[in-house]
Structure 1
Amino acid sequence: MKNIAIAKPGYPYIITALVITLFFYTKASFLFLPFLFVTVFLAYFFRDPYRESPAGKNLVLAPADGRIIKIEKAYEPHFIKSETLKVSIFLSLFDVHVTRSPYGGIIPLCRYIPGGFIAAYKEEASSRNERNLIGIETDRGKLLVVQVAGMVARRIVCWIKPGDKIERGERIGMIKFGSCTELYIPSGIKLQVKEGDRVRGGETVLGEL
């Protein structure tokens, strides 16, 4: 079994909580246990488990862990600029929050858009919340991954830049503390999932192009 790593954005939170925990331990304070719980939870939240992507040339993978809350046809105006199939995945506080590439290709677009912080599961969050757009040019067309902040998740991290070449299942970013990830795919995809399904980023097959 592969070891479960901790995502780098979590180090400052975990180290700070650990220092405070040790301080209260040395003081024999009743606050030791609450802060120990916080430290353990942060380590769990920022976990970054190894994922082995399934073989298959044209497979599109889930970009994040969570539950599919909506699958719908939608026009995508920023990158694809045509009718697409939009898959929305809601991440709870207990899901892995690392974002992974659903398909291999080149990154022509990586754009941060400031916005609000309404609940990520609400439909209007897609257009009103803070978000980050990641466009992927592939051998089967264009895909767009959108990292959407929520009420608690107010910090989006992106580890790639325009011009980068990425592989399917590769780590491309993270959204801290609960959020939503959207994937816009060519409408001709053969879907293998439905609304309500739980998926794992970089591992669950959404469909085939």
Structure 2
Amino acid sequence: MKIHREGLATILLTFVVLALINGAVFYFSGNTLTLQIIAAFSLALFLFIISFFRIPNREMKHGESLVLAPCDGKVVVIEETYEPEYFKDKRLQVSIFMSPANVHVNRNPISGQVKLSQYHSGKYLVAWHPKSSTENERHTVVIGNGKTDVLVRQIAGALARRIVNYLKPGMEVTQNEEMGFIKFGSRVDLYLPVGTQVSVQLDQVVRAGQTVIATL
């Protein structure tokens, strides 16, 4: 397991703040129970922050016709819907909700060329809200492989305040490479051609780079 570079500053800041708090409690309080409670809470919080930015070692799947999960989480939407930003027509939407306990690295679901990479500021509705796809802070990426285009949308949730995306238009990207990162609870939407064979079900838990979302 590795720690994602996006978390290094957050982990260091958390360590400094918790060390100052524990130092102050130790200096000003003579209550041993209070010290133990604060120390236990600080350790649990610090370990949670480290866990949030983890990159677990895992064996990835590959396949030119496969759309792989771009993130860890639970499938919360599978439906046909109108996509207004890029395609401007009906698409098959598959949405994956990431809780704060999930790995938050986002990966390319297919290989191909980046046709769009666009950030949008917005609201911070809960990630499962129907309007979060179009009203929340989000980043839209479209990857084309010569046969079809797949849209991936990173969506910030009620806790998330920063979306990181590494892709630029014109880049050639490889399936399962890092696409970006969303800090804390969030969601990723996939928009596929209508009629695409979906391999997942609602409420299914998926893993980035391992779970096949659909076959093109």
The two structures share one fold, judged by TM-score above 0.5:
yes
Alignment-derived partner of residue 10 in structure 1 = 7
Are residue 33 (structure 1) and residue 40 (structure 2) matched? yes
CA RMSD, 1 decimal: 1.6
How is 1:36-55 mapped onto 2 (pairs within 5 angstroms)? Answer: 36-55=43-62
Looking at structure 2, the residues matched to 166 and 51 of structure 1 have their Cα atoms a distance apart, in angstroms, of 20
Q: Could you report, residue by residue, the CA deviation over 1:148-190 in whole angstroms, capped at 9, with x for unpaired residues?
A: 1111011111112112111111111011110111000112321
Equivalent of residue 118 in structure 1, options 91, 113, 125? 125
Q: Deviations over 1:13-40 (max 9, x none)?
A: 1111222344455667323332222211
Q: In the alignment, does 2:113 pair up with 1:106?
A: yes
User: Which structure has greater helix proportion?
Assistant: 2
Q: CA–CA distance in 1 between the matches of 2:160 and 2:62?
A: 32
Number of the residue aligned with 1:197: 204
Rounded to whole Å, the distance in 2 between the matches of 1:135 and 1:149 is 18
Aligned to 1:9, what secondary structure does the other structure show? Answer: helix
Q: Secondary structure of 1:152's match? A: coil
The runs of 5 or more residues in structure 1 that have no matched partner are: none
Which has the higher Rg, Structure 1 or Structure 2? 2
Q: 1:75 aligned to 2:72? A: no
Q: In the alignment, which residue of structure 2 is the partner of 1:132?
A: 139
Asked if structure 2 preserves the Cα contact closer than 8 Å seen for 1:80 and 1:142, the reply is no
User: Aligned to 1:20, what secondary structure does the other structure show?
Assistant: helix
Whole-angstrom distance in 2 between the partners of 1:34 and 1:163: 47
Q: Choose from 122, 128, 153 the match for 1:146.
A: 153
Q: CA deviation at 1:67?
A: 0.5
Q: Among all aligned residue pairs of Structure 1 and Structure 2, give the percentage whose two residues are the same amino acid.
A: 38
CA distance in structure 2 between the partners assigned to 1:27 and 1:154 by the alignment:
30
SS at match of 1:44: helix
Q: Which one of the candidate residues 145, 156, 164 is aligned to 1:157?
A: 164
Contact 2:64 2:111 in 1 (8 A): no
The 5 Å alignment of 1:76-95 reads 76-95=83-102
Letter in 1 for 2:108: S
Q: Distance in 1 between matches of 2:127 and 2:209?
A: 21
**Quick check: 2:136–2:156 contact (8 Å CA) kept in 1?**
yes
CA 1:80 to 1:53, structure 2 compared with 1: closer, same or farther past 3 Å? farther
Cα deviation, residue 117, structure 1? 0.5
Long gaps (5+) in structure 2: 27-34
Q: Secondary structure at 2:169's aligned position in 1? A: coil
The alignment's TM-score, normalised by the length of structure 1, stands at 0.92
Distance in 2, Cα, partners of 1:144 & 1:15: 35
